[in-house]
Amino acid sequence: MEIATNFQVEGRIKRVVIILCALLLSLSCKKDEDNETLPPLTTIGAGSFGFLLNNEVWLPKQMRFPIFPSPSEFDCNYFPESGRLWISARREYNDSIKYEDIYLEVYSIFHTGQYSFDNVEYGNTSFERVYTDQSTVRYSVKEFLTNNCEIMFLDTTQKIISGTFNISLFSPTTNKRIDITNGIFDLKY
């Protein structure tokens, strides 16, 4: 009789430990999105990227389970020969929006200064929102809307590029515009 009681106690303890571990894991994975803030603008290759999307903080984020490898939340490529800068970032969600991607492309960057995103005919600078039903809305550059990028730091030896950006994009599908403001990046390429 005493042996059965010990097994019962051990079984209960295991269940309690498993429940506590699951509870702690779920709490540690949650992020309070209401308190998200943009990272500060730095020039050290800190790996920071973010902006306000219609006045709400937008930061890259992956929703994958931590033990599985996941692709980077953002990517940066700069080609010194052509001066082409390409930045892409993704934010994943757990609701009706599956994910959002932003693609930024600027040409002829050879030093710090003011630049514009690619012109309308190329169409590579864009913002895409993909819903769980797989429908997609794409916003892209349109003439006469806000469109600026300031390169504040460019170091081709350490391969660091930093700056700010503001851009308004338009979707012909929905006939709506989005405003991306206070954008910052400090990335290694």
Tell me the mean pLDDT in the region 171-175.
94
Mean pLDDT of 163-176: 95
Q: Is the pLDDT of residue 79 over 80?
A: yes
In the predicted structure, residue 153 carries a pLDDT above the cut 90? yes
pTM above 0.85, yes or no: no
Residue 91 pLDDT exceeds 60: yes
At 12 the pLDDT is: 59
Average pLDDT over residues 155-172: 96
Average pLDDT of the chain is: 83
Write down the domain spans for the chain.
Answer: 1-30, 38-188
* pLDDT > 70? residue 73: yes
Give the per-residue pLDDT at 95.
85
Question: Tokens at residue 118, please?
Answer: 């690619």
